[in-house]
Structure 1
Amino acid sequence: MNGVTKLCCSAFIYLSTLSPIVSASNCDNQADNELEKLYCQIITQNTKHQLPSLLDFRKNTEQMQRLLIKRDAKKLGLSLPAKKQDSSKAKPARPQRENQSSLTTNQPKSRKTEPKGEVQNTNSRRLSSCRLNKAYINCATTRFTLQTNKPNSSLHNTALSAANTLLFSNNKNSDTQYLNQSYLTYIDKMMLIGLGDSTMSYTKFHKLFTQNKQNRHQFSQRFNELYELLKKEKQSMAIRTRYNDQYPASIKQCMKVNNKLIICDNVQQNWIYISSKH
């Protein structure tokens, strides 16, 4: 195992201790519908799949779930189940990206009373004038640039030192506000140690907190332990600028958090774009 792979894997092995994992062996017992049963068949028969966890898979609309497993199902000769009749009328569709409805942006506070589906539409309007061009997102007079992993030589001289810690502020805000603020702190800290291409999505960040029912102090401590592990390994291991050459497929996979930051993800991968003005 080379240094790049080891750095990437060890961090996520550590993260796996924060939340329960649905393995291929017990996946079928967890499946609630035909699409989830097919998902379980795929991960059982193809151990090299790149599908999200069952828990993340469930966060997508039925249409997105079908897109996620369509290719793997075809390779294995498996057929997708028939679409539900009038499923779109039975209940409002959940946003394709959990973090779009949860991560606080600079939208008016009145959004609290809006249905979840409206949040995504509002964000889409905020990015409607923006154009995605792989490593750049151009919005009117502002350009946002994709963040990558950086060599240690380009970091601040204290970035990998013991003085740089990742601790979340334990204020009296609601859990949602706490997680929103903590996630932005996490993103900033990952940028500081040059791991712009190695961040987790807000969906996973939120899941790690809620599934374990951790108190805020425990949650902060576990992430600080992870951060220390990443700093230590980055000091001694080589790292690639990017782990693959993929980009967001559409601006609809992105959300503008503030005037400095746009975050995109497709469940499996996270992309961070920072304004060149900042």
Structure 2
Amino acid sequence: MTARGLVLLVLCLCSGAVHAANDDCMGGAKTDMEKLYCQVVSKGQGAGLPSPTDFKRNDPQVQALLLRRPAGRLGLEVPEGDQPQYGQLADCRLQGERIACPQQRYNLAANQPNSKLESGALGERMERTYSLLKQDKKTLAVKARYHNRLPDDLSLCTVINPDIVVCDNVGTNWVYVSANR
């Protein structure tokens, strides 16, 4: 067999394995968010996403945040999940470094050195990444802010839980924390 024949054989076998893996993903997808995850992965944009099992363990809001960028690069829209009552920002106003809602106020959180972060607040699967970042931050200075830009409007924001709102314009993430926290 020629070298070209071997290369074609390997490519065919690999594409078959990838196709089978994508079929397995779609076959196991139960929600629209899981189906979108499979689409994103099958189109080669899933490099930064967790494994399918880990993805399914996240609630729909976190799944939407994980998929927003890679799906956007593919021109795919992330489905709107049912948000709990605290997920509504319709009655809120973005006021620069503050988000004002009728029942709650959120203030923009500054970057913090790891010594001030609570590791218990991070998920178990994030612990490994956190440890690596912690090692890096020991030697790197942490600025409270790296620029003065702020989100343009609340359409870029998602309520993670009653105490945290995250805004994302693809280039920057902003974390707003409840003033009552």
Q: 1:257 to 1:166 in 2, by over 3 A?
A: closer
Is the 2:112–2:144 Cα contact (8 Å) retained in structure 1? Answer: yes
1:106 is aligned to: 84
1:269 is aligned to: 172
Is the 2:93–2:154 Cα contact (8 Å) retained in structure 1? Answer: yes
The alignment's C-alpha RMSD in Å is 3.4
1:257 is aligned to: 160
- Deviations along 1:58-79, whole A, 9 cap, x unmatched? 246xxxxxxxxxxxxxxxxxxx
Larger Rg: 2
Per the TM alignment, residue 268 of structure 1 is displaced from its structure 2 partner at its CA by 2.4
Amino acid at match of 1:128: A
1:85 is aligned to: none
2:127 is aligned to: 224
Amino acid at match of 1:266: N
Secondary structure, aligned partner of 1:230: helix
CA–CA distance in structure 1, aligned partners of residues 159 and 107 of structure 2: 13
Per the TM alignment, residue 166 of structure 1 is displaced from its structure 2 partner at its CA by 5.0
CA–CA distance in structure 1, aligned partners of residues 178 and 112 of structure 2: 17
CA–CA distance in structure 1, aligned partners of residues 72 and 173 of structure 2: 14
CA–CA distance in structure 1, aligned partners of residues 74 and 143 of structure 2: 31
2:104 is aligned to: 142
Instruction: Name structure 1 gaps, 5 residues minimum.
Output: 1-17, 21-51, 61-93, 109-122, 169-219
- Deviations along 1:9-54, whole A, 9 cap, x unmatched? xxxxxxxxx827xxxxxxxxxxxxxxxxxxxxxxxxxxxxxxx977
Instruction: Name structure 2 gaps, 5 residues minimum.
Output: 1-45, 49-67
Q: Percent identity?
A: 28
Per the TM alignment, residue 141 of structure 1 is displaced from its structure 2 partner at its CA by 4.1
1:132 is aligned to: 94
Does residue 57 (structure 1) correspond to residue 73 (structure 2)? The answer is yes
Q: Which has the higher contact order (CA 8 A, sep 6+)?
A: 1
Per the TM alignment, residue 231 of structure 1 is displaced from its structure 2 partner at its CA by 0.7
CA–CA distance in structure 1, aligned partners of residues 179 and 80 of structure 2: 26
After the TM superposition, which residues 70-109 of structure 1 pair with which residues of structure 2 at under 5 Å, given as runs? 94=77, 98=78, 101=80, 105-107=83-85
Q: 1:55 to 1:239 in 2, by over 3 A?
A: same
Is the 2:69–2:170 Cα contact (8 Å) retained in structure 1? Answer: no
Per the TM alignment, residue 142 of structure 1 is displaced from its structure 2 partner at its CA by 2.0
TM-score (norm 2): 0.51
CA–CA distance in structure 2, aligned partners of residues 139 and 165 of structure 1: 25
Secondary structure, aligned partner of 1:240: coil
Aligned length in residues? 117
29, 47, 58: which is aligned to 1:19?
A: 47
Per the TM alignment, residue 236 of structure 1 is displaced from its structure 2 partner at its CA by 2.0
Is the 1:105–1:257 Cα contact (8 Å) retained in structure 2? Answer: no
- Deviations along 1:167-222, whole A, 9 cap, x unmatched? 53xxxxxxxxxxxxxxxxxxxxxxxxxxxxxxxxxxxxxxxxxxxxxxxxxxx3xx
CA–CA distance in structure 2, aligned partners of residues 238 and 148 of structure 1: 14
Deviation beyond 4 Å, 4+ runs, structure 1: 52-55, 164-167
Is the 1:106–1:257 Cα contact (8 Å) retained in structure 2? Answer: no
- Deviations along 1:85-112, whole A, 9 cap, x unmatched? xxxxxxxxx3xxx3x735x74249xxxx
CA–CA distance in structure 2, aligned partners of residues 106 and 149 of structure 1: 28
Per the TM alignment, residue 265 of structure 1 is displaced from its structure 2 partner at its CA by 1.1
